Amino acid sequence: MAKSFDVVVIGAGPAGYVAAIRCAQLGLKTACIDNWVDGEGKPSLGGTCLNVGCIPSKALLESSERYHQIKSGLAEHGILTTGVKLDLAAMQARKTRIVGALTQGIAGLFKTNRITALTGKGQLLETGRVGFTPRGTEQQEVITAQHIILAPGSRPVSLGAAPLDGDLVVDSTGALAFADVPKRLGIIGAGVIGLELGSVWRRLGSEVVLLEAQKEFLSMADGDLAAQALKIFAQQGLDIRLGCRVTGVKTARRQVQVAYQDAENQTQELKVDRLVVAVGRRPNTDGLAVAGARLQLDEKGYVDIDEHCRTNLPNVYAIGDVVRGPMLAHKGSEEGVAVAERIAGQPGHVDYDLIPSVLYTHPEMAWVGRSESALKAAGVDYRVGSFPFAASGRALAVGESQGLVKILADTRSDRILGVHILGPGASELIAEAVVAMSFGASSEDLARTVHAHPTLAEAVHEAALAVDKRAIHMRNR
């Protein structure tokens, strides 16, 4: 193995593997160190996202939604079904195949781009030097590099009151691998991860209770959409209890007993068959660098960086979940591309104001830019345009008419400041908003853009018209 490279990347998640590929495309001799292996002990690139996060969760969300629709949602279409059965093992096997295909695809891209993939642990020793410990050994090798990119990703936050046992009490990884459907499932945390996992198992037959410490539901999302989403999720059978702080967990006789303080500070107890701890993620910076390297971290364990993802050490960069900003795969990937281009002498760029967020529940929720509460807090004068999917012909035709599109535009310039979508295809529809805002579009620009009929995207068009109170297919207020 070569001991010297132009670039060494530590971590092969969406930030790290994308950075490695772009570096190689730019003619840089690149190595990528990653310690992830699959259930058979084979190297599996892609980090948390591809292995136990974004991809497997979306596979189960899709499968569970199809099962739920076939079992109980097709009668109004004139399709009657009987004897529908769940084969959870087959569903899990499909998920595993999808993960395998994608991780193998990254391995193929590494070969195509002549990236040296190293399976094991990587550690920053000092500027220009990385320690590599091959998996299965304790002997550290030293690799030199002109540039080093730190992209070790993140891991689930542990909760002292609810220690994991890998069986009855699990984190998000364990919740994606259940071999049977829990009769009653408890989830600590009603954020993105908790809601998506809860949706999967509710559709498959679990009674799901989510305990959320915050009193405000989905505080990072627009308040109007979050309130509507809470009602929809309750109608679907998700029991979401806000302002609940877990104080202790006990397991006995294949059951989990959860003690918590409710919103009125009253002591309550919840009994479930399995418990998922989904209270967020923390950066994987423990042991990332030796003390002598003097890599600067903040009080929460994130790597300190400047606006170009440079650390306090020369030619050492950090990207993805270990730096400031949302822990989103696409954000990390864009940082990886930007850093690679900067290393190659090009002007890499990431617009942190226009990173879309998506909640893959049913219906989906997506947003980009600022919310009403943020604009009010900043004293920005704005106008609002919204359009409900209940007035969309395409949404009604496909039987997905819950939710709305909401557009916020500056009162003086009409420039779009934020777009918030709750409804069918929100994860895809938000891309139009991101593109429009990237070009500095006004709500009038969207209003004068022709949208095909009948489509879900017409809801975005109508919301833009509504900013100026001239929506066609609803009453303007």
Per-residue tokens: 257: 């007993």
With respect to residue 164, please indicate whether it lies within any of the assigned structural domains.
Answer: no
Confidence tier at 2 by pLDDT (50, 70, 90) = low
Residues 272, 287, single domain; the answer is: no
d(CA 204, CA 201): 5
Residue owning tokens 């960086």: 305
Question: pLDDT tens digits, residue range 311-366?
Answer: 999 999 999 999 999 999 999 999 999 999 999 999 999 999 999 999 999 999 99
Helix (H, G, I), strand (E, B) or coil at 449: coil
Confidence tier at 450 by pLDDT (50, 70, 90) = very high
Residues 6+ apart with CB under 8 A from 111: none
Question: pLDDT tens digits, residue range 10-36?
Answer: 999 999 999 999 999 999 999 999 999
Predicted confidence at residue 156, as pLDDT, reads 96
With respect to residue 388, please indicate whether it lies within any of the assigned structural domains.
Answer: yes
The stretch 116-125 carries a mean pLDDT of 97
Predicted confidence at residue 261, as pLDDT, reads 98
With respect to residue 476, please indicate whether it lies within any of the assigned structural domains.
Answer: no
Residues 389, 344, single domain; the answer is: no
Confidence tier at 162 by pLDDT (50, 70, 90) = very high
Predicted confidence at residue 60, as pLDDT, reads 98
With respect to residue 426, please indicate whether it lies within any of the assigned structural domains.
Answer: yes
With respect to residue 35, please indicate whether it lies within any of the assigned structural domains.
Answer: yes
Contact between 398 and 69 (Cβ < 8 Å): no
What's the CATH number where 412 sits?
3.30.390.30
Question: pLDDT tens digits, residue range 185-205?
Answer: 999 999 999 999 999 999 999
Residues 251, 126, single domain; the answer is: no
- Pairing outcome for strands 129-134 and 116-126: antiparallel
Predicted confidence at residue 477, as pLDDT, reads 79
Contact between 385 and 359 (Cβ < 8 Å): no
Residues 42, 150, single domain; the answer is: yes
Residues 12, 148, single domain; the answer is: yes
Residue owning tokens 């497997």: 56
Domain boundary among 241, 256, 279: 279
Domain boundary among 294, 322, 352: 352
Residues 6+ apart with CB under 8 A from 200: 57, 60, 61, 64
φ, ψ for residue 193 (rounded to 5)? -65, -45
Residues 46, 108, single domain; the answer is: yes
Confidence tier at 283 by pLDDT (50, 70, 90) = very high
Residues 316, 446, single domain; the answer is: no
With respect to residue 31, please indicate whether it lies within any of the assigned structural domains.
Answer: yes
Residues 300, 425, single domain; the answer is: no
Residues 408, 463, single domain; the answer is: yes
Residues 315, 269, single domain; the answer is: no
Q: 1 pLDDT exceeds 60?
A: no
For the whole model, what pTM was predicted? Answer: 0.96
Predicted confidence at residue 73, as pLDDT, reads 86
Closest CA to 221 of 48, 404, 59: 404
Confidence tier at 127 by pLDDT (50, 70, 90) = confident
With respect to residue 475, please indicate whether it lies within any of the assigned structural domains.
Answer: no
Residues 370, 445, single domain; the answer is: yes
Domain coverage including residue 64: 4-155+282-352
**CA atoms 289, 292, 293, 298: torsion sign:** positive
Which positions are catalytic? 453
DSSP summary character for residue 297:
B
With respect to residue 160, please indicate whether it lies within any of the assigned structural domains.
Answer: no
The stretch 106-130 carries a mean pLDDT of 97
The burial class, CB within 10 Å (0-12 / 13-18 / 19+), for 205 is middle
Residues 210, 329, single domain; the answer is: no
Instruction: Please count the structural domains in the chain.
Output: 3
Question: pLDDT tens digits, residue range 173-189?
Answer: 999 999 999 999 999 99
Closest CA to 52 of 190, 193, 163, 186: 193
Q: 221 pLDDT exceeds 80?
A: yes
Domain boundary among 352, 382, 398: 352
The stretch 117-143 carries a mean pLDDT of 95
The stretch 271-293 carries a mean pLDDT of 97
Residues above pLDDT 90, as percent of the chain: 97
What's the CATH number where 348 sits?
3.50.50.60
Predicted confidence at residue 126, as pLDDT, reads 87
CB atoms closer than 10 angstroms to residue 312:
13
Question: pLDDT tens digits, residue range 373-426?
Answer: 999 999 999 999 999 999 999 999 999 999 999 999 999 999 999 999 999 999
